[in-house]
Amino acid sequence: MIDDGTGLLTIGELARATGLTVRTIRYWSDEGVLPPVARSPGGYRLYDTASAARLELVRTLRELGLGLDAVREVLAGERTVAEVAAAHVVALDAQIRSLKVTRAVLSTVARRGSTTEEMTLMNKLARLSAAERRRIMEEFAAEVFHGVDATVDPDVEHRLRHTLVDLPDDPTPEQVDAWVELAELVRDPQFRARMRQMVEFNARGRGPDTPPGATMWFFKRLVELAGRARAEGVAPEAPEAEPFLVELLGPDADRAAVLERLEATFHTEANRYRELIALVNGRDPRPAHAEDFAWAVAALRWRTGG
């Protein structure tokens, strides 16, 4: 405190009283958030006890991450502390979401040992908006179903066309990893061709009186019967497998055509596609029943020479 009876503090005294550096106080003063109340005869800045209280408020707001513009608005009475705090929470939430995506991308890069190009692609895919993610999936479905919309099983079409990919704003590294893999998969021309082949087989095998959902019913029935056969220890090539096939297909089915359809429909990439959608949406993937389909395919191959 200067010895002139005014009770005013020099910038050095204010620094010692508050624990802040002279440099910080001078910067805030220059920025207009802590103007001096007077000047000494030598031109030095002087502050009073109200300045010290104001300085504590400035420090608190700055430690909470508010910029100087927001601090000035609070000090000028243009905005309340509550209003500024609420706006800052929104900004922090956005920053946290961005940091989580960044962390997830870096985790994937580290795990995959990705190149610079792969890392750039992953970062771009992870930061797509919900609308952009939806467009990628819609373009994939449009190509797969082009020209066969009217003949494919409506349930199959609905499952593929209206698949929701709901990557949250604060995804886990596993969800980002799954979305990146899914986006790469649906953009792969070979995968699109296989999925196109699958729906073409579906459309080709349907008659005018085939009810919607028949495809899903058939697959559920296959899983049930093949699962039962496997549980009983029946090998696909054993004679005991025949009753299961007859119960599934009927006695007069074109087994070679059924085998071709199963091989087109059930493959590793299609299973992975379903798993990835579940992972992106934060769900546990449903059982793929790979062993059941493999049993049915093996049993048909044995009997058709496929």
Going from the first residue of the chain to its last (306 residues), give the mean pLDDT of each consecutive group of 10, the final group possibly shorter. 64 89 92 89 88 88 85 86 81 76 75 76 76 85 80 74 74 81 90 84 69 76 91 94 91 86 78 87 79 90 83
Distances (CA, A) of 135 to 24, 126, 183, 282: 50, 14, 11, 20
Which pLDDT belongs to residue 46? 92
Place of tokens 């119960």: 247
Which pLDDT belongs to residue 235? 95
Which pLDDT belongs to residue 295? 92
**In the structure encoding, which two tokens stand for residue 160, read together?**
């593929």
Which pLDDT belongs to residue 94? 74
CA distance 15 to 33: 16
Distances (CA, A) of 97 to 1, 62, 94, 166: 48, 22, 5, 15
Which pLDDT belongs to residue 240? 94
Which pLDDT belongs to residue 24? 92
